[in-house]
Structure 1
Amino acid sequence: MRAVEKSDLTGRARLREAALELFAERGFEATSTRAVAAAAGLSPALVTRHFGSKEGLRAAVDEYVLERIGKELSEVDPDAGLMESLGEVSARLFGEDLVLRGYLRHVLLEDSAASSDLFGRLLSGARAELGRLSAAYGKQTPNSEWAPFQVLCLVLGPLLLERVMQPHCDEPMFDPAVLAQRSLANQRLLLQGLYGYLEDGTGG
């Protein structure tokens, strides 16, 4: 997720980057502020100075992750095909980026107030993207209560369940070619439904 080299970052940004990578690898509870400071090459006292606490550091990492996701989604080109562009961005963010994938897996599975809050903000983002999709494709608006959850399940399900899903897949689940195939399948499901052909009278 880094856009610049660590040596070019401020001390605060270096701590945030180090925390992101260690939280992605070990999880929040198993990562000490001392370990974060050591990975950033800085004094542990700077964690308190910049973030107030370990929880403050995690909040800063969450903000960074959400800003990155929001920025990528805001740059989707609707003229290139909104559904296709969103699918490509989602695959890149939630599949190709190993650090982001690990971070979201640890955070969303830890069963805490912070994880619930992060999911809620992802859910709000899903609602916004469904609004864009409905404006572009919708003859009828998807179920407003459950559609955002369904979209997030499609996107986050493989990320969260990778360890139990992978033994049942022939290829690595996050191989670029496999990601592209899964993205296309998700797009087809969202646009047509599993049995969309039944609605046009052609089904048996």
Structure 2
Amino acid sequence: MGTVQDDRTARARVRDAALELFAAHGEDRVTMRQVAELAGVSPALVVHHFGSKAGLREAVVEHVRTWMDELFDLSADTGLAEDLQASEWSSIGEMLQQALPEGSPVIPYLRRLLMTGDPVATQLLREWHRRTVEIFRAWDAAGKLIAGPDPQTRAAMAMSSDLGTLLLADHWQQILGFDPLRGEGLARWADEAMRFYGAILPPPDTGKDSAIGARPPSPEEAS
């Protein structure tokens, strides 16, 4: 008889198998039996853990949500903003490479989910946008970033760029000849991103109003 730990491991294997198959083929074309075969378990065990394909899908979405939340938790550290200001990409690159292990199906799954117009994708994007606005405002308060007069829209623009990098990385690798998410390719991409984002990143050790794109002082501040 298996232990509780064995049971949890089997559940994670099934979830990961579903994530891989959903990413590769789309949820509609994947059966519970295929998931069971890839996970190395019986179809009955898949039903035992998740009840139905809808339950399995819910577990996959929650896994992706947790992964992104952890990435946001790391990004919320103002020390990361200081690295951005100083163009110190080593720690940021390590964070990204740790969050995106080689061959991870998370990005292909997100790509497919976002492109289908699935309401779940909109829900996830709404949550991630809220977190991004919170981080922008926190970094602005710490003098590490210029959130601007419309942080909601600025955050959406930044997310469009960042998500575009994640979702189009395979295509950019073929077009540019380097992977924008790994190794020297990440450093090259990040170097140009620093120029691109220069308008909202104050130079180190200076007031944020001296940066390009800084908001003008309010009448109260001017007086």
TM exceeding 0.5: yes
* Correspondence 1:93-108 to 2 at 5 A: 93=99, 98-108=104-114
Matched residue, 2:197: 190
**Cα distance in 1, alignment partners of residues 114 and 52 from structure 2:** 21
Matched residue, 2:64: 65
Q: Percent identity?
A: 28
Gaps of 5+ in 2: 1-5, 85-90, 202-210, 215-223
Structure 1 residue matching 2:151: 3-state secondary structure: coil
Matched residue, 1:156: 163
TM-score w.r.t. structure 2 length?
Answer: 0.69
Are residues 185 and 95 of structure 1, via their aligned partners in 2, closer, same or farther at CA, if it must alter by over 3 Å?
farther
* Correspondence 1:5-16 to 2 at 5 A: 9-16=8-15
Q: What is the CA distance between 1:125 and its match in structure 2? A: 2.7
Q: What is the CA distance between 1:111 and its match in structure 2? A: 1.7
Q: What is the CA distance between 1:52 and its match in structure 2? A: 2.8
Number of residue pairs matched by the alignment: 194
**Cα distance in 1, alignment partners of residues 130 and 76 from structure 2:** 21
Q: What is the CA distance between 1:15 and its match in structure 2? A: 1.1
Alignment RMSD, CA only? 3.4
Matched residue, 1:170: 177
Are residues 128 and 193 of structure 1, via their aligned partners in 2, closer, same or farther at CA, if it must alter by over 3 Å?
closer
**Cα distance in 2, alignment partners of residues 41 and 170 from structure 1:** 37
The one-letter amino acid paired with 1:180 is A
Q: What is the CA distance between 1:36 and its match in structure 2? A: 0.9
2:122 aligned with 1:120, yes or no?
no
**Cα distance in 2, alignment partners of residues 180 and 97 from structure 1:** 20
2:188 aligned with 1:181, yes or no?
yes
Larger mean CA deviation between 57-66 and 127-136 belongs to: 127-136
Structure 2 residue matching 1:145: 3-state secondary structure: helix
Q: What is the CA distance between 1:35 and its match in structure 2? A: 0.9
Gaps of 5+ in 1: 1-6, 200-204
Matched residue, 1:3: none
Matched residue, 2:217: none
Are residues 58 and 162 of structure 1, via their aligned partners in 2, closer, same or farther at CA, if it must alter by over 3 Å?
same
Q: What is the CA distance between 1:24 and its match in structure 2? A: 2.4
**Cα distance in 1, alignment partners of residues 39 and 136 from structure 2:** 38
TM-score w.r.t. structure 1 length?
Answer: 0.74
Matched residue, 2:135: 129
CA contact (8 A) 1:96 1:174 kept: no
**Cα distance in 1, alignment partners of residues 78 and 125 from structure 2:** 29
Structure 2 residue matching 1:137: 3-state secondary structure: coil
**Cα distance in 2, alignment partners of residues 191 and 94 from structure 1:** 26
**Cα distance in 1, alignment partners of residues 163 and 26 from structure 2:** 17
Deviations 1:101-140 (A, max 9, x none): 2221122112212222222222223223223322333575
